Structure 1
Amino acid sequence: MPMTPEDLDQLARRRANAKLGWYVHALAFVLVNTLIFAMSRYAFGTRPWSVYPLLGWGLGLVLHGVSVFLLGSGSGLRERMVQREREALQRRQDRP
């Protein structure tokens, strides 16, 4: 079923907004973790405690990226999975 130009525009906007959100998240990650690293190094001694927020937030950033770039609306993986589910449901419905 082909998409209308309006559907394509809406999907393109949704995907662009999701990607822009990830880029903003990544920029905040870099800036805040640079500040935390500097504080841990110069203001609070040399204890490497800054690695813990870096790892936790880094995991969140990776998961956000996976949701946007791999599983997001309109991604190839998601579309293939939706198509498989549609076909399975159609087969189940067509059975006598």
Structure 2
Amino acid sequence: MIVKKLRLQRGWSQDQLSQFSGLSVRTVQRIEGGQKPGLESLKSLAAVFEIDVSDLEGAPDMNSDINITDDEKAVIEKVKAIKDFYAHLISYTLIISLLFIINFMTGSGYMWAWWPAMGWGIGIISHGLTAFEVLNFFGPEWERKQVEKRLGRKL
């Protein structure tokens, strides 16, 4: 997580970090995902970020200057939710297109491909509204109210 924060602070993509460090993109992804990097990878990353190798080896809580704040965590989660929505939308588009092609190729007079398109489409719309926080019925404010209610505190 330290590597991810340092990368994001500089506005770099994982691809850019891999080019600067000489590591593969997959290695950068694994390290950011929590896998323990080797010493050579640590040296490469430390050189790129211009910090000591020991700063990268330590736990994130031990280095106050590179801790991830709650605001940063919230932004990272929001960006991940939007990214997940776009991945979902791409899957939907590809698979539904394939279903329509199969429907046309089989030559049946009945357009059955509309049913999965509509059903899954409702899920896509719901996912988009949630990811972009258009309708946020169960957001942080709702959670806070529910916790307060269950703890018996006045709002």
**Identical columns (%):** 20
The equivalent position to 1:20 in structure 2, one of 68, 78, 83, is 83
8 Å CA contact retained: 1:41, 1:47: no
Paired AA for residue 32 in structure 1: I
8 Å CA contact retained: 1:40, 1:50: yes
RCO (CA 8 Å, sep 6+): is it higher in 1 or 2? 1
The separation in 2 between residues aligned to 1:56 and 1:93, in whole angstroms, is 41
> Cα distance 1:93–1:35, how it changes in 2: closer, same or farther (>3 A)?
closer
The separation in 2 between residues aligned to 1:63 and 1:93, in whole angstroms, is 32
**How much is the aligned-residue C-alpha RMSD, in angstroms?**
2.7
The answer to whether structure 1 residue 68 and structure 2 residue 131 are counterparts is yes
Count matched residues.
Answer: 83
Runs of 5+ consecutive residues of structure 2 not aligned to the other structure: 1-67
Deviations 1:23-60 (A, max 9, x none): 00000000000000000011353420000000000001
**Residue aligned with 1:48, SS:** coil
The answer to whether structure 1 residue 56 and structure 2 residue 119 are counterparts is yes
The equivalent position to 2:92 in structure 1, one of 10, 19, 29, is 29
TM-score, scaled to structure 2: 0.45
The separation in 1 between residues aligned to 2:99 and 2:107, in whole angstroms, is 10
The equivalent position to 1:8 in structure 2, one of 68, 71, 74, is 71
8 Å CA contact retained: 1:22, 1:65: yes
8 Å CA contact retained: 1:40, 1:48: yes
TM-score, scaled to structure 1: 0.68
> Cα distance 1:56–1:93, how it changes in 2: closer, same or farther (>3 A)?
closer
Question: Which protein shows a greater Rg?
Answer: 2
Deviation of residue 81 (structure 1)? 5.7
